[in-house]
A and B are shown apart, each in its own frame.
Chain A
Amino acid sequence: MNFELNEDHIMMRKMVRDFAEKEAGPGAEERDENEEFPMELWKKCAELGLAGITFPEEYGGVGADYISYAITVEELSRVDAALGVTISAHSSLCANPILLFGSEEQKQKYLPALASGEKLGAFGLTESMAGSDASGTRTTATREGDEYVINGSKVFITNGYHADVYVVTAQMDKSKGNKGIAAFILEKDTPGFTFGKKEKKMGIRSSATYELVFENVRIPAENLLGEEGQGFKIAMTTLDYGRIGIASQALGIAQGAYEQALNYAKERVQFGKPISALQAIQFKLADMALQIEAARLLVYQAAFVANEHTFPVSKYAAMAKVFASEAANKVTTQAVQILGGYGYTRDYPVERMMRDAKITEIYEGTSEIQRVVIAANILKD
């Protein structure tokens, strides 16, 4: 078993890291404070090919693998977790379902623009009454001639308002439960499609989180993604791959916080020596390093499985996501602890990293849901 990254991966990591440190780092604090969407940075990411990493070259993507994707989201998130999720949600939650389930026409129509970053994507699944219980979708879609009419709303949508393309789920036949849900491709500025509340969040504040509102939104029938009744499956598969992105984001946050804590501990002198000489601090750092190492291996394993398609992505992605997000929360909390009073102030980035880490245990499936998925996988074997 070769645990080393290949030359391409090493070069990609260096490029994304240099980019993140130089371009995203300096303004991260300010964007977080002002809740300012990183539009310029998103465009720069797109120019470097970060918007279409796993998409085939024939659709304008880079044709690289999931490890390349994981490394990218990790390195961006190490410096700016909000930028990391902007890329991740765009790629995994919007472009990917179109790649996996779209017709050739849909792929040709949407993927090149999404892969090149000319358009930003988002995914509308969650509703106020349908979070963990996604089957409780109340947004409806009705077929009328050669159109579908959508009514309802979505909540907590990452990249909302700024995104141009949205993959959205709606219920077509309540009596069929899950099997009545369909997925659609919606474009911004379609009449009746508006944006509601912009969420004020604890963390990833520069990531845009919006409510989507659909009032008799008419879309052409060709905008149905996959088949009627396939929507729930599309959503679940989409989330399986998306979890690799979030796991990578959590890993990046943990790595960034850990480095801050490590450097600080070596410089901060108390009781006549650097605090890194104190066993209590050493044990904290050791545990942080251990959590990150284990998380990294799970993330790469999930990415490897996603590349190979020989094992269920579902189980490995869920494992990576739950472990990495819990690790990120532990690591960032300890990082603030190690930086002490200074860590609690906005002069240092660790408090932002701690606030950013929390959401990774919640979105794209809570840690509880991840355990449901893992259990379902292990019990069916």
Chain B
Amino acid sequence: MNIIVSVKQTFDTEAKIALNAEGKISDDGVTLVINPYDEFAVEEALKLKEKFGGEVTVVCAGGEKAQEAIRTALAMGCDKAVRVDISGLEDADEWVVAEVLAKAVSELPYDIVLSGRIAVDDGSSQVAVRLAEALGIPSVSSILKLEIEGDTATATREIDGGAEVIEVKLPALFTAQKGLNEPRYPSMMGIMKAKKKEIATKGLADIGFGEVPAAKMSAPKYSLPTSRAGGKMIPGDATEATKELARLLREEAKAI
């Protein structure tokens, strides 16, 4: 089975966010990690490989630093990788990234494409589904379970207040929701082997872009949240405090 996993390198969720002099998000001193949701996708891909045989190729649109995220996926057990360098693109939006990934993925044989349902940095949750549309294959997002038999996939997808079971013929794209699996730690052996695995680096021209694709959304204007003003600490013993809280919630906050 030819399995493709699309991964992104993101800030660690612990990172403190600051704006730099140009008003963009600063990556100074920030720990970069493989997007946690993409780890679920990598794990699922590896499980499929263990069951059906075949190869897992990691695809990533990113700058040189993204190699780390790719290497983590390789250390977990993926076989090879393709990185499309988009570091030259100013403010690439989800449209651009999806178009870039679609071109890169089209050059590879695939039965199934997996990715995380959302990236913890921009929280857009768009690129993977856009990628499926660009490739002309069905997409099932936010899956909690995946089973494959022959060329039919049965996925359990999370919906508001429940789940639905969807059946679709491969090739198809699936985005992973937390709970799909427990990603494995890369083993020592995996880490040692990762450096021998191929990471093909491609420029935009290499994958067929005559000119640089233009973003459809404006360059974002970034701001930091105004801190919520600290509120009232309600004094008194348990009985007094709860009476007062209930009163405030009704009369002042009008929340009850």
Contact = CB atoms under 8 A, between A and B. Distances in A.
Touch between chains A and B, by CB atoms below 8 Å: yes
Interface of A: 7-8, 11-12, 15, 18-19, 47-50, 53, 62-64, 68, 72
A7 B185 contact: no
Contacts, number: 42
B187 A68 contact: no
Interface string B117-143: 000000000000000000000000000
Interface stretch (B55-63, B77-85, B168-176, B188-196): B188-196
Interface of B: 68, 71-72, 75, 185-192, 194-195
B185 A15 contact: yes
A12 B188 contact: yes
Contacts of A7: 68, 71, 195
B199 to A, nearest CB: 12
Contacts of A19: 185
Contact of A62 (B71, B72, B186, B189): B189
A199 B54 CA distance: 52
A64 B195 contact: no
B14 to A, nearest CB: 12
A368 B188 CA distance: 35
Given A8-B195, A15-B186, 6 more contacts: A7-B68, A8-B192, A11-B191, A49-B188, A49-B190, A53-B188
14 contacts: A7-B68, A8-B191, A8-B192, A8-B194, A11-B68, A11-B71, A11-B75, A15-B185, A15-B188, A49-B189, A62-B192, A63-B192, A64-B192, A68-B188
B189 A11 contact: no
B71 A48 contact: no
A196 to B, nearest CB: 35
A336 B140 CA distance: 53
Nearest to B186: A15
List the 3 shortest-distance A-B pairs measured between CB atoms, nearest first: A49-B188, A62-B188, A49-B187
B195 A48 contact: no
Contacts of A18: 185
A59 to B, nearest CB: 13
Nearest to B72: A11
A72 B191 CA distance: 13
B192 A48 contact: no
Contacts of B195: 7-8
A11 B68 CA distance: 9
Nearest to A60: B189
A127 B189 CA distance: 37
A62 to B, nearest CB: 4
Contacts of A63: 192
B192 A15 contact: no
A243 B191 CA distance: 25
Contacts of A64: 188, 192
B191 to A, nearest CB: 5
A176 to B, nearest CB: 42
A11 B187 contact: no
Contact of B185 (A8, A48, A62): A48
Contacts of B187: 15, 47-49
A63 B195 CA distance: 14
A50 B185 contact: no
Contacts of A48: 185, 187-188
Nearest to A8: B191
A49 B75 CA distance: 13
A7 B191 CA distance: 9
A8 B72 CA distance: 10
Contacts of B190: 49
B71 A50 contact: no
A102 to B, nearest CB: 22
A51 B90 CA distance: 47
A50 B191 CA distance: 12
Nearest to B74: A11
A50 B192 CA distance: 13
A2 to B, nearest CB: 17
A19 B189 CA distance: 15
Contact of B186 (A11, A53, A68, A72): A11
Nearest to A52: B188
The residue in A12, A15, A18, A63 that gathers the most chain B C-beta atoms within 10 A of its C-beta is: A15
A49 B190 CA distance: 9
B148 to A, nearest CB: 26
Nearest to A22: B185
